[in-house]
Chain A
Amino acid sequence: GENVEQHPSTLSVQEGDSAVIKCTYSDSASNYFPWYKQELGKRPQLIIDIRSNVGEKKDQRIAVTLNKTAKHFSLHITETQPEDSAVYFCAASTADNTGKLIFGQGTTLQVKP
């Protein structure tokens, strides 16, 4: 079945360093890849997304890259700040394009001041 693998499960970085989270997906028909940030006790919030016709997208300190051939996509956070600490989820759309998303297992990012 459709599957999204996410690594690492936990990531600890020093404030100001960069953080990279990687995901792979199984369904070559997936064409939409959002990233969600979930702070403790709060709802998952969309932070950035990318569609399959684009290789890279950037929004201030956050960027996402997509390699369709390898079925990989990654989240890059530069100049990390303590408020970036949260659980990050990647997701991929399904081939039927109904809006259903398949999520990765989540990465707990800790940014140490």
Chain B
Amino acid sequence: EAGVTQFPSHSVIEKGQTVTLRCDPISGHDNLYWYRRVMGKEIKFLLHFVKESKQDESGMPNNRFLAERTGGTYSTLKVQPAELEDSGVYFCASSQDREIHGYTFGSGTRLTVV
């Protein structure tokens, strides 16, 4: 079984540019989560999809962030326009059902905004 896949693994962009991160969850997993770790700080929740619907987007920092999950498969997270404080590592995770258990994270996308 393939794990959670994210790409790109690294992205360096200038302030004001747009970046799109992608997450491919484990096949068949309805739940998909985005998290972010800013350097030296905790891993913070961004949002949660159930299939193609946003279940909880309370962690999204502001309207420069847009997440989609068309068709309930892979998800994208777009940052437009990027700001310096958006730098960090963005992780995706997926799980099959609503029962609470530890889920598998992707390897993350390290975003650097310069």
Partner-B contacts on A (CB < 8 A): 4, 6, 31-32, 34, 36, 42-46, 49, 89, 91, 93, 96-106
Contacts and interface: CB of A to CB of B under 8 A. Distances in A.
Interface in B82-110: 91, 95, 98, 100-108
A101 B45 contact: yes
B44 interface: yes
Contact of A31 (B35, B91, B100): B100
Interface of B: 31, 33, 35, 40-45, 48, 55-56, 91, 95, 98, 100-108
Contacts of B31: 99
A103 B102 CA distance: 12
14 contacts: A4-B42, A31-B100, A32-B100, A44-B105, A89-B42, A89-B43, A97-B98, A97-B100, A99-B31, A99-B33, A99-B48, A99-B100, A100-B56, A105-B42
A96 B45 CA distance: 14
Q: A45, A101, A105 — which one has the most chain B CB atoms within 10 A of its CB? A: A101
A109 B88 CA distance: 21
Contacts of B40: 106
B55 A98 contact: yes
Contacts, number: 59
Contacts of B100: 31-32, 93, 97, 99
A83 B44 CA distance: 26
A6 B101 CA distance: 20
B42 A103 contact: yes
Nearest to B44: A103
A96 B95 CA distance: 16
A1 to B, nearest CB: 9
A46 B43 contact: no
Contact of A46 (B56, B102, B107): B102
